[in-house]
Amino acid sequence: QSVLTQPPSASGTPGQRVSMSCSGSTSNIGTRGVAWYQQFPGTAPKLVIYDNDKRPSGVPDRLSGSKSGTSASLAVSGLQSEDEAIYYCATWDDSLDGVIFGAGTKLTVL
């Protein structure tokens, strides 16, 4: 069972805006920055958001991140079929003294 809680699935139609949540606690999200990773089947994860809301070079601005208290969110606007993937949130946990991941949200484009 993951320390960070993510819904197992999310879905939307092309062009829609979809958001997914990541819930933690004061020992992790509440005091640390959150990163988000995108993973396609059979490939390595790719960093798409870090420090809650920053995008690495090359990541489209259709992907955006936010944080409030002990929860974080990743939003994908102008949904495209190529966005269909599993999205993981991650952060450092001060109690566990290590990096923790959510179980992942599978985004389906209908």
Partner 1 sequence: EVQLVESGGGLVRPGGSLTLSCSTSGFFSSIYAMSWLRQAPGRGLEWVASIRPGGRFIFYTDSVKGRFTISRDSGKTSLSLQMNSLRAEDTAIYYCARALTSDRADYAVQGYWGRGTLVTVSS
Binding footprint of partner 1 on the chain (CB under 8 A) = 2, 32-35, 37, 39, 43-47, 50-51, 56, 88, 90-92, 96-104
Quick check: 68 and 17 in contact, CB under 8 A?
Answer: no
Contact predicate 20/107, CB 8 Å: yes
Minimum Å gap between C-beta 15 and partner 1 is: 29
Q: How far is the CB of 21 from partner 1 (least distance, A)?
A: 16
Q: Cα torsion for 89, 26, 73, 100, to the nearest 10°?
A: 0
Our CB check for partner 1 shows the closer of 6 and 109 to be 6
Q: Which is nearer to partner 1, 35 or 79 (CB)?
A: 35
Look up residue 62 and give its DSSP letter: T
82 versus 97: smaller Cβ distance to partner 1 = 97
Phi/psi for 48 (5° steps) reads -120, -25
Minimum distance of partner 1 from residue 107's CB (angstroms): 15
Instruction: Compute the Cα dihedral for 11, 21, 55, 2 and give only its sign.
Output: negative
Least distance from C-beta 38 to partner 1, angstroms? 11
